[in-house]
Amino acid sequence: AQSVTQPDIHITVSEGASLELRCNYSYGATPYLFWYVQSPGQGLQLLLKYFSGDTLVQGIKGFEAEFKRSQSSFNLRKPSVHWSDAAEYFCAVGHYSGGYQKVTFGTGTKLQVIP
């Protein structure tokens, strides 16, 4: 079975500071990895995804993530956060089986941005 761990429930950063959100996954083969963002009262929006190839992936809104197989990690980073980045971030792992994507989400990290 696949699983995702996001060890940080809440993170507070100052506007303009760098950000790293941690994600560790468990899956036997090479997984598909995703980061989604959820603003309050809204649905989930895909920030970026990794399927194969370059282990450093670029996403929308200036986010990037690095797949490290040896550490089973897929941490999300941004060099300089903006107040509008305050939201909840979900890491997810998926695999394709039986004709569809099976996606498992972590419990999320809530990001607070202070002036």
Partner 1 sequence: NAGVMQNPRHLVRRRGQEARLRCSPMKGHSHVYWYRQLPEEGLKFMVYLQKENIIDESGMPKERFSAEFPKEGPSILRIQQVVRGDSAAYFCASSPSGGERTGELFFGEGSRLTVL
In the complex, least distance from residue 65 CB atom to partner 1, rounded to whole angstroms: 14
**105 Cβ partners below 8 Å, 6+ apart?**
4, 36, 90, 91, 92
The one segment of 12-20, 22-30, 43-51, 66-74 that binds partner 1 by CB under 8 A: 43-51
Nearest residue (CB) to partner 1, 35 versus 113: 35
Contacting partner 1 within 58-87 (CB under 8 A): none
Tokens linked to 42: 């809204």
Out of 11, 19, 86, 103, point to the residue binding partner 1 (CB under 8 A). Answer: 103
Nearer to partner 1, 33 or 81 (CB): 33
Question: What percentage of the chain's residues is helix, strand, coil (to nearest 5)?
Answer: 10, 55, 35
What span, in angstroms and rounded, lies between the C-alpha atoms of 22 and 2?
17
Residue 35 touches partner 1, criterion: CB under 8 A: no
